[in-house]
Amino acid sequence: MKEQLYTIPVNEAFDKDCECPVCAMYESLEQGALEFTLGPSYMEDDIRMVTDKVGFCDRHIEKMYERGNRLGLALMMKTHADRTINEVKKLAGSAGSGKTGLFKKSTDAADPLARYLQDLEDSCFVCDRINNVFERYLDTMFYLYHSDSAFQNKLKNSKGFCNRHLKDILNRCRTKLDAKEAKDFAALVTDIYIKNMERVRDDLSWFIDKFDYRHQDDPWKDSKDAPQRMMMKQDSVFYENPQN
């Protein structure tokens, strides 16, 4: 069966005026995943079984708290805590029994309880829900690049990508496109990235110059939100519309 394509949301992300359309895709999925998690679903047994087990990452527990469904969040945290306490009790006897020696990963040497806690730290119901579809969105982006000249134009006219997502799409393009097309794609997105990083860097320069009294009466031009936009570019803070 052909994998499902998500041409509409991917096109919408590239239509947005933002510093990274891949961040925009992620953000729309994240909003949906947060809404789902804090919607009626948290009362459903099969969903709760999963949230009890995997819990949430720091980013998403904070985002859910901001959304204000305190009762829903409290109920999920309570049964997640019940489950965690049970697991820790089961493993308590083996705490401190980890092997010693040199291991490739620090978790290989950890005792079973520490390893359980590490796995818990690395797992998140919201991240999992996003990532399953996010992968398909990226596949759809390559499909559109391959087959749709209107999309190619959108890509060319986009404002480029953040560091993290440029890395992600460069790593992926060789498995999603044939060799020649992958090379062209990589050259194109790298070129767009450089031009747009330079644009935001120049905005940031003007933002800094504006603090000089000699420029105090000059216009801000596009530099007022330059620090936030550079954070989106460099620090992989996922795109969040400053107007929201």
Contact set with Zn ion (CB under 5 A)? 20, 22-23, 57, 60, 124, 126-127, 162, 165
Please, what is the minimum distance in Å from the beta carbon of residue 36 to Zn ion?
Answer: 13
Q: For residues 24 and 177, which CB has a smaller minimum distance to Zn ion in the complex?
A: 24
Q: For residues 98 and 228, which CB has a smaller minimum distance to Zn ion in the complex?
A: 228
Please, what is the minimum distance in Å from the beta carbon of residue 121 to Zn ion?
Answer: 11
Q: How far is CA 152 from CA 42, 86, 241, in A?
A: 40, 53, 24
Q: For residues 27 and 203, which CB has a smaller minimum distance to Zn ion in the complex?
A: 27
**Cβ atoms of 238 and 23 closer than 8 Å:** yes
Q: For residues 122 and 209, which CB has a smaller minimum distance to Zn ion in the complex?
A: 122
Please, what is the minimum distance in Å from the beta carbon of residue 56 to Zn ion?
Answer: 6
What three-state secondary structure class fits 44? coil
Distance CA 175, CA 4 (A): 18
Length of the chain: 244
**Torsion from C-alpha of 186, 188, 193, 198, nearest 10 degrees:** 140
Please, what is the minimum distance in Å from the beta carbon of residue 123 to Zn ion?
Answer: 9
